[in-house]
C-alpha cells in the first residue's frame, strides 16, 4: 500500500486490468467529501475540520466477486451511503478499502450494505492496526572501506528484531527494517557504536511527520513542563522531545489533525508573549554532515603540509644546497644529525596527532576481528616511523653508526592519504546531487490565504513553506513554485512538472486539477488547497525512493565484498613476504651491491619495498566501484523521470533481452473513445445516444464510460444534463447491459449477448463488426425492443511513438512480446500496427505471469511493462518490473522501475541507462583492480632488477589515494548521460489521461 492513498486494481471483463485511485475529492454528487448537518456559514469551516478529524479507514474482505462489474456494484453501493469519503474495491484480492466518517456511518452498516449487494463481507481488523515493522535510517561516521561497512552490517543483522540491514559505504548510512515490538532504535544505535563507529539517527520510521522548533524564552524546567502540557493537549500529537541545551523541541504529529503553525501558536500563547518559537534547522541532514567532514579532512591535510613540507625539503632538497647541507649534517649527539633530529620532531605530530584517525580506525577494526584500510596505513606508516626512530636512537648512542631515516615516508604517506580522502569525499558528495536537487525543489516560502465567512479572501500572509498544514489554501503566483501537493480551487494556468515527472510539456491546470509540490507555475495565478504535506508529499516520496535506491546493493557488489574480506590479510602477507625475500636476497648477496641506493643499505631497501606493497594496495576503490555508479545512475534516472529501485534493478535491467508489454494503458492510452457510429435503422443520432447513455451511465465499465462521455457532446449547450431514468438495469459480466428506458427495452453489448437474447444479427452488421475488429476497435451492438439498431466502434488509441519504440528495441537486440486480456482480433491488429510479432491474447493475470516464467525458462531475461499494480503477478514474476504510472501516486511496491511520464520511450531509457551504468561499474573494477594488479608488482620490486624502477612508499601512497578518486570520478561521468539519439528524433510527448 502506497503512503499516499490506496491504489487498487480491478479486472475488466476481457481479463485486462485498470486501476482506481482514492481521490481527494468525491466523484459522485451523492458522496459528499464531508457530510454535515444544516449549519450557518460561520460554523461551516469548523464543522468541516471537525469531521475531517473523525475520518477513518477500514478494510473488508468481500467474497464472491468475479469481475469488474461485481466490484463496481459493491463500490457504488458503499458510496451511496451517507458519510462515505471514498471507497475502492480490489477484485483480485477480494478486498474493499473504505474511508468513512464514524459520526455518520458505522463499519457494521458498510458490511451489511456489501452483503445486501449479494456478497459475503467481513471486517479485517488486523490489517487496520498499526504495523510494527518500520524502516530506520542511521548515519555512520568513520567507515573507510567495505570491511568497515561489512562489520557494521553483520553486527546489525544479528540483533534480535532486525529483519534486514543494509550499510552503504558511499552514503555512509544504514537502512534497517526492524520490528518495533522486538527492538528499539536506541538498541540499533548501540549495536553500531559497539562496532566502534559513531551513529546518528536520521529517521526512526515511527513518526509520520516530525518537525523541530527553536524555543526562545524557555529557560526553566517549569516553563518547559507548561509548554509540554499545552502541546500534548493538541489532537494528533504523537511524541515530544525537549532539548533545553539546544533550546529546541522535536514534535511528531499526525498532519490530518494538526500542524506546525498550531504548535507555534500554542507555545507563544502559553507564555503570554514571553515565549517564541520558530523552525529549527533540521539535524541529521546529509549536506551539513558532508560539509563538516570535508572541512575536517581539508584542515588535517593543511596541518600535515605545515610539517611535511619542511621534512621533504630537509631530506630531498636542502641536502643538495651547499651551506644548508653542512648545517643539516652537523652532529647533535654522536652520529645523530640536526637534519635527522628535525625530521623526527616534525614527523611526530603528523604520525600521532594528525594521523590519529588511522590508529582509531585500526583499533576499531581489529577489536572486531576484521582488518580495513586504516590497518594497512597504520602498519605502513608505523613501520617507517619506528624504524626511523630506531635508526635515530642508534645514531645518537653510537660514534660510528650512520643511520638513514624514513621520517619523510611516514609523514608524506599520511599527507597524500589525507589529500586522497579529501578529494574522494568531495567527489562522493557530487554522486548524491540528485537528492540535493530534489530537496531544493521545495520553495522556502509560501503565500497563505485566509477567508472570511462569505468565502472571500480576507488576507495574504507569507510563511515558511514548512509551516503549511493540511487543508491550507496557498496562492501560487506566475513563475513561482507550487509549495505543496494539493488541488486547484480557483484559477487557470500551465504548470511545468518536468522537475518531478520528467514531462517537458507544461500541463494545463484548472479548478479541480491536482498539482505537485516543487513544480513551477508558468503563467496564471492559482489557489491550491493543500492535501499532502511534509513526509506525505510526492517530493518526499520520490526523495525516499531515490535514497533507498542508492542504499540498495547490486548483486555484483558481492564480488567486491568477498575480495575485501581477505584483501587486507593477503596484502599484509604479501608485504611481509616482499620484505623477507629482498632482505634474504641482500643478506646472501643474491644481487649486486650497485642496486642499493647510496643513501641506504639492503635492509632499508627491503623495508621500502615491503612498505610500498602495504600502502599501494587499497580496498577502498573496490568498495566504491559499485555503489558510486549506482548512486549516480539512479540519480540520473530520477532526473529523467525513470525511478530505479537500486542496484538489483539496474543489474537485472542491463541483461534484459525480452520485454513483455501489456496492451491497455501501456501500448495504448488506456482511455477508450468512440470513433464511429453506424445506424442500421432510421433514427436521429442524438436520440440514439440519449437512450444508450441512459443505460450505460449505470455501468462502471470503461467502455460504458466512453459511450457516456461521447453522448455528452450532443448536450454541450446544457450546463447539466440529467439522463433518462433506466429501470430494471442488469449488468451481464463479459457481455454488456440490459435496461428499460422510457417505453423501450435496451440490450447493449457484444455479439454473444445478442445471440443469448435471440436477437437477429444481419449480414451487414457482421461485416461492420469484422471491419472494426480488423481496425483494432471494439464493436458494441445496440438493440432496442429486440431489434438491432446500431453499432458503436470504440478504440483505445495507441500511444504516440509506440511503433518506433518497438523498432528501436529490436535494434537493441531486445525481443518484444504483447500479452493482453483483450480478444485475439483486437490484439492481432494492435500488434501488427506496432510491429510486435509474438502475442498472447485473452490472458488472465495468472496466465500473464505464467507466460513470463515460460520465457525465463527458455533462457531469456524478461522485463514486464504494465501499470505497476494491475499487472502485479507478472511484474513480480519478471526479472525487471516496469510500472507505467505518472502523477503523484507512484506504484513503487510492485515494480522495480517506475516510468513517471507514462511514455514508452522511457522503457528504452531505463534499459540503456542500466547498460551504461553497468559498463561504468565494470570500468570502475578495472580501475580498482588495475591499480592493485599493476601497482603491487611494481611496489614489490618485481621489475626493479630489469628497469631499476622503484616505487617509494610516499609515491605508493599517492597511487593508492588516486585509485579511490579515479573510481569516483569515473562514476561521476554518468552525470553526462544522454539517452539514445533515436529517441530525440521521435519527439514523443507524454499522454495525460484525465
Per residue in 912-939, pLDDT tens?
A: 999 999 899 889 888 888 878 888 898 8
Highest mean predicted confidence (pLDDT) among 175-179, 376-380, 866-870: 175-179
Q: Is the pLDDT of residue 38 over 60?
A: no
Residues 311 and 187 in one domain: no
10 Å Cβ neighbour count for 760? Answer: 11
Residues 174 and 298 in one domain: no
Q: Which residues does 465 contact at the CB level (< 8 Å), separation at least 6?
A: 442, 443, 444, 445, 446, 483, 484
Domain that holds residue 298: 287-432
Are the C-beta atoms of residues 816 and 661 closer than 8 Å to each other? Answer: yes
CA distance 70 to 817: 31
Judge whether 44 lies within some domain: no
Are the C-beta atoms of residues 965 and 878 closer than 8 Å to each other? Answer: no
Judge whether 543 lies within some domain: no
Strand partners, 495: 507, 521
Are the C-beta atoms of residues 745 and 785 closer than 8 Å to each other? Answer: yes
Residues 332 and 427 in one domain: yes
pLDDT at 21: 32
Q: What is the pLDDT of residues 566-609, one digit of tens each?
A: 777 888 889 899 999 999 998 888 888 888 877 677 888 888 89
Judge whether 456 lies within some domain: no
Residues 889 and 956 in one domain: no
CA distance 473 to 446: 10
Are the C-beta atoms of residues 915 and 989 closer than 8 Å to each other? Answer: no
pLDDT at 891: 41
Give the CATH number, domain containing residue 260. Answer: 3.30.70.100
**Res. 475 pLDDT band, cuts 50 70 90:** very high
Q: What angle do CA 133, 134, 138 make, to 5 degrees?
A: 140
Residues 298 and 424 in one domain: yes
Are the C-beta atoms of residues 677 and 791 closer than 8 Å to each other? Answer: yes
Query: How do beta strands 673-679 and 787-795 pair?
Result: antiparallel
pLDDT top residue among 872 and 967: 967
Helices (H), 835-904: 845-857, 872-877
Are the C-beta atoms of residues 13 and 733 closer than 8 Å to each other? Answer: yes
Residues 225 and 374 in one domain: no
CA distance 796 to 456: 43
Q: What percent of the chain has pLDDT over 90?
A: 13
Q: Which helix (H) or strand (E) holds 692?
A: helix 685-696
Residues 879 and 831 in one domain: yes
Q: What is the pLDDT of residues 120-172, one digit of tens each?
A: 888 875 443 445 678 888 888 878 777 788 888 888 988 888 888 888 877 78
Give the DSSP letter string of 27-38.
SSTTS-SS----
Strand partners, 486: 515, 530
Are the C-beta atoms of residues 870 and 11 closer than 8 Å to each other? Answer: no
**Res. 408 pLDDT band, cuts 50 70 90:** confident
Judge whether 459 lies within some domain: no
Q: Is the pLDDT of residue 34 over 80?
A: no
Q: Tell me what the pLDDT averaged over the chain comes to.
A: 79
Judge whether 851 lies within some domain: yes
Last residue of a domain, one of 863, 885, 914: 914
Judge whether 352 lies within some domain: yes
Task: Read off the pTM.
Answer: 0.65
Cell 458522496, residue located: 31
**Residues of the chain by 3-state class (helix, strand, coil), percent to 5:** 45, 20, 30
Last residue of a domain, one of 795, 830, 857: 795
Q: Which residues does 536 contact at the CB level (< 8 Å), separation at least 6?
A: 3, 4, 208, 209, 255, 485
Give the DSSP letter string of 949-984.
----HHHHHHHHHHHHHHHHHHHHGGGG----HHHH
CA distance 102 to 805: 50
**Res. 504 pLDDT band, cuts 50 70 90:** low
Torsion, CA 220, CA 226, CA 227, CA 233, rounded to 10: 160
Residue 965 grid cell: 578518486
Residues 216 and 293 in one domain: no
Last residue of a domain, one of 726, 760, 795: 795
CA distance 767 to 755: 16
Judge whether 368 lies within some domain: yes
Closest CA to 61 of 22, 92, 96, 99: 96
Residue 208 grid cell: 509520520
Give the CATH number, domain containing residue 730. Answer: 3.40.1110.10
Residues 618 and 716 in one domain: no
Are the C-beta atoms of residues 516 and 539 closer than 8 Å to each other? Answer: yes
Q: Is the pLDDT of residue 35 over 60?
A: no
Mean pLDDT of 381-403: 83
Q: Is the pLDDT of residue 748 over 90?
A: yes
Residue 141 grid cell: 561516521
Give the CATH number, domain containing residue 492. Answer: 2.70.150.10
Residues 162 and 230 in one domain: no
Residues 566 and 583 in one domain: yes
Q: How many domains does the chain have?
A: 8
**Res. 349 pLDDT band, cuts 50 70 90:** very high
Q: Please compute Rg for the chain using Cα positions.
A: 35
Phi, psi (degrees; rounded to nearest 5) at 802: -60, -45
CA distance 237 to 167: 32
Are the C-beta atoms of residues 671 and 939 closer than 8 Å to each other? Answer: no
Q: How many helices (H) and strands (E) does the chain have?
A: 33, 38
Q: Which helix (H) or strand (E) holds 89?
A: strand 84-90
Residues 883 and 938 in one domain: no
CA distance 855 to 819: 12
Are the C-beta atoms of residues 664 and 794 closer than 8 Å to each other? Answer: no
Query: How do beta strands 815-819 and 838-840 pair?
Result: parallel
Judge whether 451 lies within some domain: no
Mean pLDDT of 771-779: 82
Amino acid at each position: 500500500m502506497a503512503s499516499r492513498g490506496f491504489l487498487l486494481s480491478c479486472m475488466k471483463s476481457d481479463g485486462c486490468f485498470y486501476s482506481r485511485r482514492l481521490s481527494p475529492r468525491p466523484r459522485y454528487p451523492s458522496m459528499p467529501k464531508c457530510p454535515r448537518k444544516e449549519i450557518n456559514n460561520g460554523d461551516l469551516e469548523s464543522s468541516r475540520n471537525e469531521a475531517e478529524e473523525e475520518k477513518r479507514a477500514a478494510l473488508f474482505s468481500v467474497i464472491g466477486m468475479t469481475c469488474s462489474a461485481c466490484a463496481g456494484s459493491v463500490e457504488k453501493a458503499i458510496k451511496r451511503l451517507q458519510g462515505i469519503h471514498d471507497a475502492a474495491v480490489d477484485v483480485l484480492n477480494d478486498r474493499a478499502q473504505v474511508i468513512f466518517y464514524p459520526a455518520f456511518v458505522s463499519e457494521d452498516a458498510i458490511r451489511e450494505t456489501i452483503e445486501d449487494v449479494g456478497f459475503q463481507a467481513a471486517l479485517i481488523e488486523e490489517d487496520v492496526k498499526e504495523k510494527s515493522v518500520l524502516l530506520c535510517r542511521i548515519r555512520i561516521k568513520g567507515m573507510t572501506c567495505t570491511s568497515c561497512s561489512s562489520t557494521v552490517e553483520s553486527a546489525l543483522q544479528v540483533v534480535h528484531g532486525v529483519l534486514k540491514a543494509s550499510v552503504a559505504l558511499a552514503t555512509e548510512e544504514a537502512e534497517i527494517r526492524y520490528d518495533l515490538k522486538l527492538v528499539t532504535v536506541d538498541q540499533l544505535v548501540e549495536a553500531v557504536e559497539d562496532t566502534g563507529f559513531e551513529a546518528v539517527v536520521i529517521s526512526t520510521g515511527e513518526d509520520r511527520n516530525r518537525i523541530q522548533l527553536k524555543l526562545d524564552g524557555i529557560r526553566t524546567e517549569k516553563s518547559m513542563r507548561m509548554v509540554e502540557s499545552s502541546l500534548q493537549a493538541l489532537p494528533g500529537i504523537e511524541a515530544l522531545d525537549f532539548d533545553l541545551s539546544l533550546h529546541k523541541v522535536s514534535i511528531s504529529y499526525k498532519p490530518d489533525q494538526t500542524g506546525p503553525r498550531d504548535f507555534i501558536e500554542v507555545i507563544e500563547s502559553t507564555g503570554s508573549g514571553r515565549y517564541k518559537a520558530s523552525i529549527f534547522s533540521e539535524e541529521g541532514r546529509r549536506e551539513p554532515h558532508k560539509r563538516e567532514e570535508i572541512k575536517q579532512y581539508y584542515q588535517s591535510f593543511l596541518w600535515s603540509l605545515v610539517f611535511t613540507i619542511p621534512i621533504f625539503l630537509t631530506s630531498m632538497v636542502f641536502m643538495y644546497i651547499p651551506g644548508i647541507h653542512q648545517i643539516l649534517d652537523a652532529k647533535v649527539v654522536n652520529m645523530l644529525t640536526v637534519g635527522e633530529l628535525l625530521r623526527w620532531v616534525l614527523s611526530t605530530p603528523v604520525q600521532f596527532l594528525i594521523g590519529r584517525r588511522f590508529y582509531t580506525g585500526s583499533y576499531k577494526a581489529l577489536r572486531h576481528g576484521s582488518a580495513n584500510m586504516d590497518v594497512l596505513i597504520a602498519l605502513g606508516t608505523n613501520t617507517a616511523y619506528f624504524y626511523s626512530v630506531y635508526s635515530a636512537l642508534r645514531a645518537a648512542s653510537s660514534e660510528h653508526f650512520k643511520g638513514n631515516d624514513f621520517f619523510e615516508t611516514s609523514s608524506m604517506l599520511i599527507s597524500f592519504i589525507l589529500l586522497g580522502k579529501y578529494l574522494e569525499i568531495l567527489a562522493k558528495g557530487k554522486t548524491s546531487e540528485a537528492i540535493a536537487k530534489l530537496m531544493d525543489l521545495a520553495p522556502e516560502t509560501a503565500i497563505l490565504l485566509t477567508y472570511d465567512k462569505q468565502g472571500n479572501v480576507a488576507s495574504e500572509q507569507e510563511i515558511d513553506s514548512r509551516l503549511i498544514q493540511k487543508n491550507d489554501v496557498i496562492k501560487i503566483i506566475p513563475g513561482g513554485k507550487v509549495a505543496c501537493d494539493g488541488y486547484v480551487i480557483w484559477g487557470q494556468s500551465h504548470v511545468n512538472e518536468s522537475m518531478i515527472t520528467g514531462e517537458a510539456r507544461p500541463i494545463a491546470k484548472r479548478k479541480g486539477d491536482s498539482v505537485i509540490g516543487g513544480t513551477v507555475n508558468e503563467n496564471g495565478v492559482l489557489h491550491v488547497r493543500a492535501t499532502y504535506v511534509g513526509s506525505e508529499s510526492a517530493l518526499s516520496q520520490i526523495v525516499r525512493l531515490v535514497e533507498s535506491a542508492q542504499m540498495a546493493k547490486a548483486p555484483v557488489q558481492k564480488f567486491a565484498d568477498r575480495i575485501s574480506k581477505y584483501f587486507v590479510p593477503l596484502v599484509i602477507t604479501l608485504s611481509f613476504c616482499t620484505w623477507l625475500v629482498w632482505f634474504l636476497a641482500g643478506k646472501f648477496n643474491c644481487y649486486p651491491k650497485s642496486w642499493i641506493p647510496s643513501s641506504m643499505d639492503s635492509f632499508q631497501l627491503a623495508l621500502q619495498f615491503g612498505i610500498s606493497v602495504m600502502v599501494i594496495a587499497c580496498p577502498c576503490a573496490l568498495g566504491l566501484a559499485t555503489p558510486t555508479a549506482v548512486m549516480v545512475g539512479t540519480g540520473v534516472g530520477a532526473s529523467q523521470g525513470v525511478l530505479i529501485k537500486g542496484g538489483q534493478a539496474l543489474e537485472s535491467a542491463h541483461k534484459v533481452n525480452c520485454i513483455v508489454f501489456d496492451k491497455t494503458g501501456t501500448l495504448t492510452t488506456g482511455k477508450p473513445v468512440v470513433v464511429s457510429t453506424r445506424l442500421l435503422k432510421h433514427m436521429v443520432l442524438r436520440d440514439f445516444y440519449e437512450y444508450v447513455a441512459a443505460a450505460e451511465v449505470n455501468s462502471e465499465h470503461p467502455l460504458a464510460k466512453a459511450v457516456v462521455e461521447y453522448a455528452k457532446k450532443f448536450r454541450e449547450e446544457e450546463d447539466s444534463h440529467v439522463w433518462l431514468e433506466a429501470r430494471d438495469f442488469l449488468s451481464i459480466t463479459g457481455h454488456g447491459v440490459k435496461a428499460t428506458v422510457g417505453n423501450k427495452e435496451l440490450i447493449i453489448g457484444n455479439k454473444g449477448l445478442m445471440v443469448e437474447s435471440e436477437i437477429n444479427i444481419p449480414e451487414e452488421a457482421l461485416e461492420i463488426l469484422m471491419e472494426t475488429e480488423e481496425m483494432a476497435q471494439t464493436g458494441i451492438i445496440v438493440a432496442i425492443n429486440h431489434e438491432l439498431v446500431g453499432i458503436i466502434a470504440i478504440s483505445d488509441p495507441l500511444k504516440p511513438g509506440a511503433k518506433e519504440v518497438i523498432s528501436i528495441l529490436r535494434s537493441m537486440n531486445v525481443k518484444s512480446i504483447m500479452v493482453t486480456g483483450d480478444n485475439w482480433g483486437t490484439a492481432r491488429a494492435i500488434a501488427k500496427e506496432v510491429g510486435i510479432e509474438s502475442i498472447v491474447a485473452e490472458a488472465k493475470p495468472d496466465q500473464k505471469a505464467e507466460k513470463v516464467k515460460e520465457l525465463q525458462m527458455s533462457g531469456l531475461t524478461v522485463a514486464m511493462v504494465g501499470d505497476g499494480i494491475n499487472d502485479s503477478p507478472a511484474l513480480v514474476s519478471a526479472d525487471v518490473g516496469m510500472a507505467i504510472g505518472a502523477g503523484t501516486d507512484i506504484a513503487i511496491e510492485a515494480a522495480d522501475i517506475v516510468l513517471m511520464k507514462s511514455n514508452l520511450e522511457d522503457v528504452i531509457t531505463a534499459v540503456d541507462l542500466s547498460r551504461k551504468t553497468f559498463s561504468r561499474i565494470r570500468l570502475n573494477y578495472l580501475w580498482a583492480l588495475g591499480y592493485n594488479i599493476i601497482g603491487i608488482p611494481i611496489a614489490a620490486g618485481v621489475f626493479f632488477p630489469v628497469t631499476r624502477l622503484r616505487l617509494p612508499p610516499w609515491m605508493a601512497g599517492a597511487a593508492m589515494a588516486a585509485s579511490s578518486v579515479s573510481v569516483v570520478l569515473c562514476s561521476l561521468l554518468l552525470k553526462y548521460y544522454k539517452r539514445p539519439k533515436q529517441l530525440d528524433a521521435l519527439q514523443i510527448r507524454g499522454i495525460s489521461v484525465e
